[in-house]
C-alpha cells in the first residue's frame, strides 16, 4: 500500500496537534504527515508529542492559511506537490455581543476560518482532480449547523464552510474525490481557553445593560458548565477523524459528540426554523433550573458511557 501524503493545518496545539501525532504514529505507517502552523516558534509541543516519528512519518512546515504565497510555498515543497489527504483545521474563535466587536476582528475570523480553506482548495484541488484521487477533510463545528448565542461571527464562518463544501461535494463526485466535514461540539483545548479568556476581557461599554448582563452573567458562566459537561478532548476528535480517513466510503458529515446530536436535530425537525430558536430561548431564559439539571444529568450520562467518546481501536 502506497503511503499517503497528509497535509494538516493549525498543528501548533489542540486538534491539529493531536491529529498529526495520531496519523504519524499509525502502526501500519500508512501516512506521511506534513504538520503545518503559521508560527514555527510554537512547534515545541508538537515536536515533543511526535517523538520518534519526527523526520520519519512527520515533518513540520510553515503555512499561514491567510496568505496565498505561504500556501503555495508549502505545497511546492511537498514531493511532486502531491496531497492525498488535506485536513483543514486552522481556525480562530470570537464570542461576545456584536456591538462590541470590530469589523476588523470579524474579517480576521472569516479570513482564517473560511477563506483559509478556500486558499488551500484552490492550490490543491486541481491536482486531485487530475489524479481523480484525494480526500478533503474539514474540521467544522456543530455551529456550522445550529447557531449559538453570542457566537454570531464564528458560527457564520462555519456556516460558510458547510455551504461551500456542500456545493463542492457535488463536483467532487465527478472526479471520484471525497469531502468530509467533521463537526465537533465543545472541545477542551487551548483554542477554547483562549476564546473564553478573550471573552472575559471584552469591553462591554457599547452594549446595553441587558445584553451585557446576558453575556457576562449568563453566557460566560454557562460556557464553562457546557464545556465541563459536553466537552471532548482533542484526542477524541483525532480518533474520530482517523476513523473517517481510513473508511472506504467516508461520510460527508460526521458529528463527533452523540450528546450534542439532539440539539442539532431540532433544526431538521421544523422547516420553519422556529423550533430550535424557541427551544434554545426557553432553555436559557425561561427554564434555567431545568437547563442546569439537564447539564448535571448529561454529566452523569457521559461518565457512565465514556466509551462512546473514544472509538474502538482500529483493527485494520
**Is residue 298 included in any domain, yes or no?**
no
User: Out of 154, 219, 260, 281, which one is annotated catalytic?
Assistant: 154
**Is residue 116 included in any domain, yes or no?**
yes
CATH code for the domain of 63 = 3.40.50.720
pTM: 0.90
What is the distance of C-alpha 95 from the center of its chain? Answer: 16
Confirm whether residue 2 is marked as ligand binding. Answer: no
Q: Among 16-20, 144-148, 165-169, 246-250, where is mean pLDDT lowest? A: 144-148
At 97, list the grid cell: 455581543
Q: Which residues of 34-65 are buried (b: 16+ CB within 10 A; e: fewer)?
A: bbbbbeeeebeebeebbeebbeebbbbbebbb
Of residues 192, 19, 199, 169, the one with CA closest to residue 95: 199
Confirm whether residue 304 is marked as ligand binding. Answer: no
Confirm whether residue 21 is marked as ligand binding. Answer: yes
**Is residue 230 included in any domain, yes or no?**
yes
Contact 96, 199 (CB under 8 A): yes
Q: How many structural domains comprise the chain?
A: 1
**Is residue 37 included in any domain, yes or no?**
yes
**Is residue 315 included in any domain, yes or no?**
no
Alpha helices (runs of H) in 25-102, residue ranges in sequence order: 44-50, 68-76
Beta strands in the chain (DSSP E): 4-8, 31-37, 58-62, 85-88, 135-139, 178-183, 187-188, 232-233, 253-255
**Is residue 285 included in any domain, yes or no?**
no
pLDDT tens digits, one per residue of 215-269: 998 899 888 777 777 789 999 999 999 999 999 999 999 999 887 787 788 888 8
**Is residue 136 included in any domain, yes or no?**
yes
Q: How does the average pLDDT of the chain come out, rounded?
A: 90
Of residues 259, 109, 268, 245, the one with CA closest to residue 182: 245
pLDDT tens digits, one per residue of 179-188: 999 999 889 8
Domain that holds residue 114: 4-266
Residue 292 pLDDT level (bands cut at 50, 70, 90): low
**Is residue 288 included in any domain, yes or no?**
no
Contact 146, 267 (CB under 8 A): yes
What average pLDDT score do residues 11-19 get? 97
Whether 196 is catalytic is: no
Amino acid at each position: 500500500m502506497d503511503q499517503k501524503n497528509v497535509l494538516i493545518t493549525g498543528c501548533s496545539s489542540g486538534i491539529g496537534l493531536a491529529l498529526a501525532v495520531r496519523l504519524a504514529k499509525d502502526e501500519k505507517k500508512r501516512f506521511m504527515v506534513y504538520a503545518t502552523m503559521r508560527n514555527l516558534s510554537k512547534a515545541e509541543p508538537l515536536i515533543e508529542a511526535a517523538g520518534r516519528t519526527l523526520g520519519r512519518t512527520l515533518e513540520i512546515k510553515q503555512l499561514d492559511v491567510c496568505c496565498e504565497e505561504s500556501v503555495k510555498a508549502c505545497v511546492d515543497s511537498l514531493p511532486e506537490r502531491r496531497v492525498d489527504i488535506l485536513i483543514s483545521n486552522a481556525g480562530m474563535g470570537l464570542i461576545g455581543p456584536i456591538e462590541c466587536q470590530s469589523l476588523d476582528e470579524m474579517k480576521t475570523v472569516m479570513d482564517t476560518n473560511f477563506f483559509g480553506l478556500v486558499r488551500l482548495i484552490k492550490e490543491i484541488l486541481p491536482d486531485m482532480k487530475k489524479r481523480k484521487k484525494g480526500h478533503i477533510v474539514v474540521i467544522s463545528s456543530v455551529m456550522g449547523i445550529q447557531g449559538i448565542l453570542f457566537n454570531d461571527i464564528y458560527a457564520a464562518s462555519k456556516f460558510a464552510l458547510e455551504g461551500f463544501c456542500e456545493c463542492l461535494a457535488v463536483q467532487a463526485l465527478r472526479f471520484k474525490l471525497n469531502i468530509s466535514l467533521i463537526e465537533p461540539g465543545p472541545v477542551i483545548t487551548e483554542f477554547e481557553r483562549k476564546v473564553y479568556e478573550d471573552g472575559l476581557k471584552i469591553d462591554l461599554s457599547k452594549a446595553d445593560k441587558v445584553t451585557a448582563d446576558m453575556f457576562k452573567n449568563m453566557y460566560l458562566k454557562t460556557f464553562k458548565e457546557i464545556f465541563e459537561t459536553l466537552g471532548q478532548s482533542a484526542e477524541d476528535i483525532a480518533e474520530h477523524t482517523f476513523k473517517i480517513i481510513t473508511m472506504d466510503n467516508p461520510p460527508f458529515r460526521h458529528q463527533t459528540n452523540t450528546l450534542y446530536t439532539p440539539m442539532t436535530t431540532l433544526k431538521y425537525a421544523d422547516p420553519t426554523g422556529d423550533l430550535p430558536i424557541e427551544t434554545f430561548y426557553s432553555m436559557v431564559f425561561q427554564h434555567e433550573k431545568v437547563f442546569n439539571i439537564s447539564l448535571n444529568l448529561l454529566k452523569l450520562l457521559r461518565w457512565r458511557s465514556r466509551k462512546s467518546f473514544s472509538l474502538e481501536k482500529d483493527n485494520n
